[in-house]
Structure 1
């Protein structure tokens, strides 16, 4: 990997521009370099005194690990920031495109509205024109009352004169801009135009238009329908949703194909009309450096939005890599990381850093252990030299412990950042999924009320029971087929009479439904409605109207003619693929993993799922209390353990959208999005002797003293008289011994002699150690016989008054109490002879070694 130097250390080239803005990297760099300076001084003293000549390689290993650690931390900070920004950019553009897709269908539906087309065909000189215009204006008000995403509806003549409009405050009598003629001649089902227009009083706007055809038939163009979308209002809502907490310092903008700013979350930093010179992840604009991420639309139902539009997120570099100060959350993430097998979550380098740190620390511990053994051996002949050596070794040990602490803190932060990114992703994706669902169902609730205003459907139901009933039903069927062709998210549209019998359906394959009486409480509820602004929706349940009785939602409202309810209209949401698409959009970044997305009702029923373990109608893997406690619009992140795998879970409860479901009381039908991102299986609980070390009692002068070298086995602290130990070696190569006892795991060569290797885990407890990487200590008994003993971890080498070694009942071992406040209060001092008993050398009339 190509490296560049920064302040004396090599870093990956991609992070070099940002290092000055990464305070966390600087904090750890300064601490590590300061300690390495101390280490250099200690190494020099050790070489001069001859007591610690073998610690230089430890310093080099720490230095190498420092460069790896800091570079990994910098790259993690960069990737986390870019990932978060890229996600927000994609969400911003994709939510907008989903919204605009519905607008392309709306303009196609309204373009065949009977009263609208009749008014466009009416001669302005006709005496009825003024009354027709007033009636159409009221009709537009009825439409926009149901769809507040439009700020105006305008009908133009083929010459550009305004024939009628929703907002009569506009003084423009005509619009002769070139796009009007282009829209009148356009063949596609909609015409899309953004920019300033006299039709909108000169302001910028997004207009969807479609030519109007003669109601008498034929292809004669009689006018142009224009829907003005509230783009600024919509984008402001999107920006508010995406910018919260730490991200409030970011700016989100909508760009056109020329990279001009169309909408901005902060017009002071990024004004509308400015052009952004996008070229990679870093942007210099208006005298300020930004980290930058942009995204084009992913598309929805084949619609890609206005050509070239994209969303862009900019974060000032001085804030891009701030990590926050939520210590409680970091402590929780640290606790979680310590209990997980995160190999599938973290890259190989990140996994290797703590392993390398532990390896270096083991080597340092072995070096210090051996040095202290030598200093204790020298103490009898050279008290002054031994005292200096001991002091130097203690200082080396203290400095090594400080280095280890800094590394552990940095590693914990690396792991915490990685875990936090996963939890943030789960919560963000859950919020995205529920927002997509709320916006989608907002359209469904409004569609049924829009279509209930169609006079052809009203007349068709009013004609039931008359000689014209059959012809009227045929016309209703054609209207429903036309609508269903525009709005492809529905499985079926149908109208029914006041008895709940189906009169017409949109799908010829379901003509068998005609004449059948509908079942379900929503039917009578819809027929009882008198307010055209209201609708009803079924529970999410199986319906004979949908795909072999699969569960879905049915939206319905009454149809009224001349003030009387003449029946109703029901629209059957194509729930299975639509919900799957919503969840797939939310999980796009998690493809290829075991991630899962679910929509779950408050009572725990699964509405939709990407995971075959939880099909619709089953119970979700979320504690009921967790869902019950979520208020509308609230979110929560938590961990869930499912089938042995721990997941980061993001939960977001529906809060509705615009007028849809706003302010409603909580009910069992409320839906939450649940996103599950895998973290890893739970680690088995194991004692870590290195983390819970033995602290020897304070040294005291005594007539008779005892030198002890400590080590741990299976979480217990043991010791041997230091005079019987030669040195500790790390991971020696073993030669197997055929037919040897199980506790004898091989032979090793030491100073020209082959020594048997006794594994104390097997000898004392009958079970193999958790790792074969433990150190091996070389022992020698009073008869000069050598033995190698494998242990788990090395501990302190210390001196105590011999009287503090207390007898252990039933054995020849003795017990030593640790210092007050030590996590391990007791050490068992083993008789050396008992070790040789395990290889068949037992002193006469001596009891065998018993497990402490």
Structure 2
């Protein structure tokens, strides 16, 4: 990866231009640089006194790690910010395209409406009555009352004359627009036109047009004007929420701004460069720097819209000035999140701990050497006395300061890593909550269309007359033509006033004809007397969906008015093809993280649909039922739950309807909610989650006699040895296997020309080995026998008063024959002081119990 130098450190080229906008970087760079300055001073003192160990390699390692850490921090911030903007810009254009796809079907359906065709034919024949246009205008109002996404409906003659209009005052009497008239070309299902139009009094709009054919071949054009601004500005507001100072825009194929959420920042008509240019995600517009992402349409059912794109921008000075997300407080605790972060980020804390271990080993050896020079006999001078220990004490003080500085460096690294993980987790919870809201928003908008479709088609004069006259063949033909336009349905059917099926849209379902339908929705539809009303079934089997007709589904139904008025001729039912359609909606809202899943569930906790085969319709939802039942309309929450041995972040969003669809409805067990799951990782045990142990802090030495103690951690318990018995802490090196050795003996290791046995204190004392990261200590007994101890972690080398040692009150297990003494420290910790002679006896006893390894084998290897 190419790096450039900024602020004295190497950074990736993608983030180097953005560093000035990242205040969090300075929060960690400054203390790291201060500590490295202190390190240089300590190194100089060590060289002048000759007391300190060489720290050059450790300093270089920390300096290199500082560069990696800050670069990772910058790249993670950029990734989180870009991911947030990219997701929202993609959602903006994809939701629009789904919406516009429905408009292409609407214009095709309405263009075949019998009253439109009749009026067009009457105009061609010169028999148009004075009230015909007003009658058609009322019909347009009936349609638009059910579909509030339109603000103008116009029927034009082939020469552009206005024949009828929803809002005649806005529409010119003659519309000369060859783009609209292109709908008359053979094979042209529809045209979509954006820009100023005579249909709208010269205002700009998005218009869908389709050819209308009269009975004797007369032609005209039906035009539907979609409320683009109304739709997009509401969507922009929802998507910009939570992203400070952000702007969402809709751009045409030439890159000009068609709509903007903030015209004061990005005005209409402005040519806006795409994101992802030579400056990465940064663009300059009107003298201001922005972080920006751009998204083209993903397409829906093969439809990609007019070639538009959505772009989201956030001023650079706000893009990274983020507070820790509140929703992660108290969540995602003690979770192994390694799968969420890249290898370099995961390696930084590991490398910091490795450097710290090497530093601790080096300082340990320095302290042991200083103590040995000061007290060759292993005991200190009497209180108030003076001897050569003065220089040793200075050396130990200096080494302690070096260790403290190294520990501070490590702590800064760990805080920064925790901040990175916290920020990443915050982005995950924000994303999963957003994806849940997105999923239910897509579902709401889709079901809005379904509720409107059944009411639109109930107004079809052909269906009304066919039902009234018992013409099943005509009804089937009309249903088939409608079904060809609207591909999201499994079946369309009409039924008579007794609930018997008269006709179906799919010839393969002809066996349904004559069947008497059952269910509350059937009688509900036949009881309607208002064309603005509809009914919907529970998501349950009704015999109309699936291979055997027993799969659960949603059925929307409305009453079909009798053409003579005053009563119903029957009803129309539309069976939503929920399994593939809901799955497609959920997958459109799915996070990119592997293993993510999205479900549509009822408030009662029953799965309606899932993107994941682990859940089938009718299963119980993994979402907490209490939260489902209490969640209000249009509300969403995030949280975590455990599933298949892994902690999952979840976003749960309850439906609140869309536009006039299911708004302000009382809570119902059949209310739908979207649940999005994203795996975080397995829950760690309490010990595994604690990466570092609280240090053992000794009390000040008391009494005339002192003892130097070398402390270490084994199985999360503080142990120690008299420092005179410890020769050195070794660099991590390969242990040679010793076949047939006892379990507690790891193998052999070379030291000063000898092969020494390696005794795992964790395995020996507690039956739990110290692990691959164990520190190795070379020790000797009073008779000069040497062995190596594998311990969990090095502690301090310190002075204790011998009078402070006390005998252990118990002798459990391994301590039964040992001279175990205890030393109280500050706080709750106790240190158990061992003796190498006792450990030698223990390992010799273990060896003697093995048929293959004898005591003499161990003694031969370890003898001096």
TM score, norm. by length of structure 1 = 0.93
Shift of 1:126: 6.4
Tell me how far apart the structure 2 counterparts of residues 371 and 330 of structure 1 sit (CA, whole Å).
44
Q: Which residue of 2 aligns with 1:581?
A: 584
Q: Which residue of 1 aligns with 2:853?
A: none
Tell me how far apart the structure 2 counterparts of residues 127 and 234 of structure 1 sit (CA, whole Å).
40
Task: Confirm whether residue 416 of structure 1 aligns to residue 422 of structure 2.
Answer: yes
Worse-matched range after superposition: 345-354 or 163-172: 163-172
Shift of 1:360: 0.9
Equivalent residue runs for 1:104-503 within 5 Å: 104-123=104-123, 129-170=129-170, 172-185=172-185, 187-214=187-214, 216-217=215-216, 219-221=217-219, 223-245=220-242, 247-278=243-274, 280=277, 281-306=281-306, 308-326=307-325, 329=327, 331-332=329-330, 336=333, 339-380=334-375, 381-463=387-469, 469=470, 472-503=471-502
SS in 1 for 2:338: coil
Shift of 1:425: 2.3
Q: Which residue of 1 aligns with 2:383?
A: none
Q: Which residue of 1 aligns with 2:650?
A: 649
Asked if 2 retains the 8 angstrom alpha-carbon contact of 1:119 and 1:129, the reply is: no
Q: Which residue of 1 aligns with 2:619?
A: 618
Residue by residue over 1:263-321, the C-alpha shift from the partner in whole angstroms, topping out at 9 and shown as x without a partner, is 10111111111111225222111111111211111111111111x21111111111112
Equivalent residue runs for 1:573-612 within 5 Å: 573-587=576-590, 589-590=592-593, 593-612=594-613
Tell me how far apart the structure 1 counterparts of residues 86 and 611 of structure 2 sit (CA, whole Å).
23
Would you identify which runs of 4 or more consecutive aligned residues in structure 1 move more than 4 Å? 124-128, 328-331, 687-690
Shift of 1:111: 0.6
Go from structure 1 to structure 2 and tell me whether the alpha carbon gap of 1:186 and 1:388 turns closer, same or farther (over 3 Å shift). Answer: farther
Tell me how far apart the structure 2 counterparts of residues 498 and 16 of structure 1 sit (CA, whole Å).
73
Go from structure 1 to structure 2 and tell me whether the alpha carbon gap of 1:99 and 1:32 turns closer, same or farther (over 3 Å shift). Answer: same
Q: Which residue of 2 aligns with 1:818?
A: 825
Residue by residue over 1:5-48, the C-alpha shift from the partner in whole angstroms, topping out at 9 and shown as x without a partner, is 00110111111111111111122111111111111111111122
Tell me how far apart the structure 2 counterparts of residues 687 and 481 of structure 1 sit (CA, whole Å).
63
Asked if 2 retains the 8 angstrom alpha-carbon contact of 1:58 and 1:360, the reply is: yes
Asked if 1 retains the 8 angstrom alpha-carbon contact of 2:171 and 2:199, the reply is: no
Shift of 1:124: 9.1
SS in 1 for 2:529: coil
Task: Confirm whether residue 563 of structure 1 aligns to residue 566 of structure 2.
Answer: yes
Q: Which residue of 1 aligns with 2:860?
A: none
Asked if 1 retains the 8 angstrom alpha-carbon contact of 2:721 and 2:836, the reply is: yes
Tell me how far apart the structure 2 counterparts of residues 629 and 190 of structure 1 sit (CA, whole Å).
46
Tell me how far apart the structure 1 counterparts of residues 764 and 544 of structure 2 sit (CA, whole Å).
72
Tell me how far apart the structure 2 counterparts of residues 15 and 108 of structure 1 sit (CA, whole Å).
50
Asked if 1 retains the 8 angstrom alpha-carbon contact of 2:120 and 2:218, the reply is: no
Asked if 2 retains the 8 angstrom alpha-carbon contact of 1:730 and 1:774, the reply is: no
Asked if 1 retains the 8 angstrom alpha-carbon contact of 2:349 and 2:417, the reply is: yes
SS in 2 for 1:130: coil
Tell me how far apart the structure 2 counterparts of residues 783 and 749 of structure 1 sit (CA, whole Å).
20
Asked if 1 retains the 8 angstrom alpha-carbon contact of 2:181 and 2:221, the reply is: no
Q: Which residue of 2 aligns with 1:530?
A: 529
Q: Which residue of 2 aligns with 1:846?
A: none
Go from structure 1 to structure 2 and tell me whether the alpha carbon gap of 1:477 and 1:533 turns closer, same or farther (over 3 Å shift). Answer: same
Q: Which residue of 2 aligns with 1:682?
A: 683
Shift of 1:681: 2.0
- Count the aligned residue pairs: 820
Asked if 1 retains the 8 angstrom alpha-carbon contact of 2:58 and 2:355, the reply is: yes
Tell me how far apart the structure 2 counterparts of residues 96 and 285 of structure 1 sit (CA, whole Å).
25
TM score, norm. by length of structure 2 = 0.92
Asked if 2 retains the 8 angstrom alpha-carbon contact of 1:694 and 1:818, the reply is: no
Task: Confirm whether residue 704 of structure 1 aligns to residue 705 of structure 2.
Answer: yes
Residue by residue over 1:305-362, the C-alpha shift from the partner in whole angstroms, topping out at 9 and shown as x without a partner, is 11x2111111111111222244x545535x52xx233332211111111111111111
Asked if 2 retains the 8 angstrom alpha-carbon contact of 1:732 and 1:776, the reply is: no
Q: Which residue of 2 aligns with 1:759?
A: 760
SS in 2 for 1:242: helix
Tell me how far apart the structure 1 counterparts of residues 613 and 686 of structure 2 sit (CA, whole Å).
31
Tell me how far apart the structure 2 counterparts of residues 330 and 563 of structure 1 sit (CA, whole Å).
60
Tell me how far apart the structure 1 counterparts of residues 559 and 845 of structure 2 sit (CA, whole Å).
98
Asked if 2 retains the 8 angstrom alpha-carbon contact of 1:693 and 1:795, the reply is: no
SS in 2 for 1:189: coil
SS in 2 for 1:569: strand
Residue by residue over 1:221-278, the C-alpha shift from the partner in whole angstroms, topping out at 9 and shown as x without a partner, is 1x21110000000001110110112x14111111111001011011111111111122
SS in 2 for 1:122: helix
Q: Which residue of 1 aligns with 2:717?
A: 716
RMSD of Structure 2 on Structure 1 (CA):
1.8
Tell me how far apart the structure 2 counterparts of residues 492 and 618 of structure 1 sit (CA, whole Å).
25
SS in 2 for 1:616: coil
Shift of 1:713: 0.6
Go from structure 1 to structure 2 and tell me whether the alpha carbon gap of 1:688 and 1:427 turns closer, same or farther (over 3 Å shift). Answer: closer
Tell me how far apart the structure 1 counterparts of residues 224 and 127 of structure 2 sit (CA, whole Å).
27
Go from structure 1 to structure 2 and tell me whether the alpha carbon gap of 1:705 and 1:688 turns closer, same or farther (over 3 Å shift). Answer: farther
Tell me how far apart the structure 1 counterparts of residues 740 and 104 of structure 2 sit (CA, whole Å).
82
Structure 2 residue runs without a partner (length 5+): 376-386, 812-817, 847-864
Q: Which residue of 2 aligns with 1:76?
A: 76
Tell me how far apart the structure 1 counterparts of residues 285 and 431 of structure 2 sit (CA, whole Å).
29
Task: Confirm whether residue 839 of structure 1 aligns to residue 837 of structure 2.
Answer: no
Residue by residue over 1:757-792, the C-alpha shift from the partner in whole angstroms, topping out at 9 and shown as x without a partner, is 1111121122323x2221111112222222211110
Shift of 1:422: 2.4
Go from structure 1 to structure 2 and tell me whether the alpha carbon gap of 1:112 and 1:597 turns closer, same or farther (over 3 Å shift). Answer: same
Tell me how far apart the structure 1 counterparts of residues 424 and 269 of structure 2 sit (CA, whole Å).
38
SS in 2 for 1:275: coil
Asked if 2 retains the 8 angstrom alpha-carbon contact of 1:707 and 1:800, the reply is: yes
Tell me how far apart the structure 1 counterparts of residues 486 and 591 of structure 2 sit (CA, whole Å).
25
SS in 2 for 1:123: helix
Shift of 1:418: 2.3
Asked if 2 retains the 8 angstrom alpha-carbon contact of 1:688 and 1:715, the reply is: no
SS in 2 for 1:344: helix
Task: Confirm whether residue 545 of structure 1 aligns to residue 536 of structure 2.
Answer: no
Shift of 1:675: 1.1
Q: Which residue of 1 aligns with 2:379?
A: none
Shift of 1:178: 2.7
Tell me how far apart the structure 1 counterparts of residues 31 and 186 of structure 2 sit (CA, whole Å).
68
Worse-matched range after superposition: 178-187 or 339-348: 178-187
Residue by residue over 1:403-426, the C-alpha shift from the partner in whole angstroms, topping out at 9 and shown as x without a partner, is 111100110111122222322222
Shift of 1:143: 0.5
Tell me how far apart the structure 1 counterparts of residues 691 and 620 of structure 2 sit (CA, whole Å).
44
Task: Confirm whether residue 662 of structure 1 aligns to residue 668 of structure 2.
Answer: no
SS in 2 for 1:237: helix
Residue by residue over 1:60-94, the C-alpha shift from the partner in whole angstroms, topping out at 9 and shown as x without a partner, is 11111111111111111111111111111110000
Go from structure 1 to structure 2 and tell me whether the alpha carbon gap of 1:473 and 1:63 turns closer, same or farther (over 3 Å shift). Answer: same
Worse-matched range after superposition: 163-172 or 570-579: 163-172
Asked if 2 retains the 8 angstrom alpha-carbon contact of 1:428 and 1:650, the reply is: yes
Structure 1 residue runs without a partner (length 5+): 464-468, 843-852
